[in-house]
């Protein structure tokens, strides 16, 4: 979040996370961390610790909202961090930031049949903010399929022209499910802004891969590679066999999933990696499948490749592999955040607030992720 905002001209004012390991990664990459980073539970942080800023961001845990989690919603142990964030904003009173940016998985929209998202939007309204949700896929910027739901919140402004719902049209950033939610909840104070079409990314998976020699210990043994191949369904095995028979090398990614009580290997070959996830016991780690010239080779996607898939190519990685993968699996795509800043946050700031506050833009980047045990 910080990297994407800084590339669009914002400056960090405060940051928080509950995870000691993520703090370690943050401090490695940002020398000024001691001046603004606070480690701790968001529910226990007093609003007096938060400086006056132009933008507050919150990426709160998704595991209670997503299909992969317990679906306990915003009342769950982890995703309830959202209420810790709103409590801070409420207690800031007249110091509340003009802008908020909330981020989570698209499952937030349907969690508890939509009640969680409705409750969250009404809570933000109650804090004095109009809300505008959008869905952005990292695949528009990097070769990774990673849809995320963002909500831009604008503090009510006397000169702000209200957007009329009749002018709201379905688009790639506001697909049918999101559009239907907006239209079916007129009690929520929406302020929908027209956005340009996000770019079409042209890089493919093989463009971000590290060039590891076949002698590298990263590559799996023949027995382990054969076992993975035999875990594929007939459909995926046919695709793999076609890749192996090819004249040139081609690449795909594999996730292991449980289908009908059996562990299956599902192969993706469209040049886009699957969504990076936090590894739990290794099950969330993405596998690279390289095939051609009558051969095939298998290994796990490396931390450096994960950094590139998040648009953080130069991110310093000085921690163990699983720790790095937890960090990247919980992060946001850097160029996606930059796109939101350049096409939404910056124009809104200039239109509504810049003349009132000539100070440099400051972002309070609050991650609010709960520690999840491996």
Instruction: List, for residues 309-355, the tens digit of each pLDDT value.
Output: 999 999 999 999 999 999 999 999 999 999 999 999 999 999 987 76
pLDDT band at 111 (very low <50, low <70, confident <90, very high): confident
| 66 pLDDT above the threshold of 70 | no
Residue 133: phi, psi to the nearest 5? -90, 150
Beta carbons of 24 and 3 less than 8 angstroms apart: no
CATH of 2-199+332-366, one of 3.40.50.150, 3.40.50.300, 3.40.50.1820, 2.120.10.30: 3.40.50.150
| 274 pLDDT above the threshold of 60 | yes
Beta carbons of 8 and 359 less than 8 angstroms apart: no
pLDDT band at 143 (very low <50, low <70, confident <90, very high): very high
C-alpha angle 303-308-313 in degrees, rounded to nearest 5: 100
What is the mean pLDDT of the segment spanning 143-171? 75
Q: Whose CA is closest to 153, among 58, 277, 266? A: 58
Within its chain, how far is the Cα of 62 from the centroid?
A: 10
Per-domain boundaries in the chain: 2-199+332-366, 211-301
What is the mean pLDDT of the segment spanning 138-162? 85
Average model confidence (pLDDT) across the chain: 88
What is each CA distance from 111 to 107, 114, 184, 190, in whole angstroms? 6, 5, 16, 20
> What share of the chain has pLDDT > 70, as a percent?
85
> What share of the chain has pLDDT > 90, as a percent?
75
Q: Whose CA is closest to 278, among 22, 31, 101, 70? A: 22
For the whole prediction, is pTM greater than 0.85? yes
**Cα distance between residue 254 and residue 286, in whole Å:** 6
What is the mean pLDDT of the segment spanning 50-67? 78
Under DSSP, is residue 16 helix (H, G, I), strand (E, B) or coil? strand
> pLDDT tens digit string along 185-215?
999 999 999 999 999 988 999 999 999 998 9
**Cα distance between residue 163 and residue 62, in whole Å:** 30
DSSP code string of 84-109: HHHHHHHHHGGG--SEEEEEE-THHH
What is the mean pLDDT of the segment spanning 120-145? 96
Residue that wins the pLDDT comparison between 158 and 19: 19
pLDDT at 164: 44
Residue 77: phi, psi to the nearest 5? -60, -40
For residue 154, what is the enclosing H or E element?
A: strand 147-155
Under DSSP, is residue 133 helix (H, G, I), strand (E, B) or coil? strand
């Amino acid at each position: 979040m910080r990297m994407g905002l800084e590339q669009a001209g914002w400056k960090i004012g405060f940051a928080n996370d509950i995870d000691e390991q993520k703090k370690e990664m943050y401090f490695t990459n940002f020398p000024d961390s001691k001046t603004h980073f606070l480690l701790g539970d968001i529910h226990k942080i007093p609003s007096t610790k938060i400086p006056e800023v132009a933008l507050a961001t919150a990426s709160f845990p998704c595991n209670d909202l997503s299909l992969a989690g317990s679906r306990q919603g915003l009342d769950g142990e982890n995703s309830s961090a959202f209420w810790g964030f709103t409590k801070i904003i409420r207690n800031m009173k007249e110091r509340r930031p003009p802008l908020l940016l909330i981020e989570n998985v698209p499952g937030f929209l349907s969690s508890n049949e939509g009640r969680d998202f409705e409750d969250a939007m009404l809570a933000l309204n109650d804090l004095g903010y109009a809300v505008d949700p959008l869905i952005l896929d990292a695949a528009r910027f990097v070769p990774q399929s990673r849809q995320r739901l963002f909500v831009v919140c604008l503090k009510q402004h006397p000169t702000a022209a209200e957007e009329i719902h009749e002018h709201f049209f379905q688009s790639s950033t506001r697909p049918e499910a999101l559009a239907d939610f907006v239209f079916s909840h007129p009690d929520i104070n929406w302020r929908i802004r027209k956005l340009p079409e996000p770019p079409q990314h042209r890089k493919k998976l093989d463009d971000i891969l590290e060039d590891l020699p076949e002698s590298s210990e990263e590559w799996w043994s023949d027995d382990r590679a054969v076992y993975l191949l035999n875990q594929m369904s007939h459909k995926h095995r046919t695709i793999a066999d076609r890749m192996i028979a090819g004249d040139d090398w081609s690449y795909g990614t594999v996730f292991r999933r449980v289908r009908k009580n059996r562990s299956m290997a599902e192969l993706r070959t469209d040049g886009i990696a699957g969504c990076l996830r936090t590894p739990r016991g290794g099950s969330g780690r993405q596998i690279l499948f390289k095939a051609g010239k009558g051969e095939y080779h298998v290994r796990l996607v490396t931390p450096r490749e994960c950094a590139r898939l998040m648009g953080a190519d130069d991110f310093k990685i000085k921690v163990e592999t699983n720790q790095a993968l937890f960090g990247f699996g919980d992060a946001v795509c850097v160029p996606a955040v930059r796109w939101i800043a350049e096409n939404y946050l910056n124009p809104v700031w200039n239109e509504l607030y810049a003349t009132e506050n000539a100070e440099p833009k400051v972002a309070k980047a609050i991650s609010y992720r709960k520690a999840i045990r491996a």
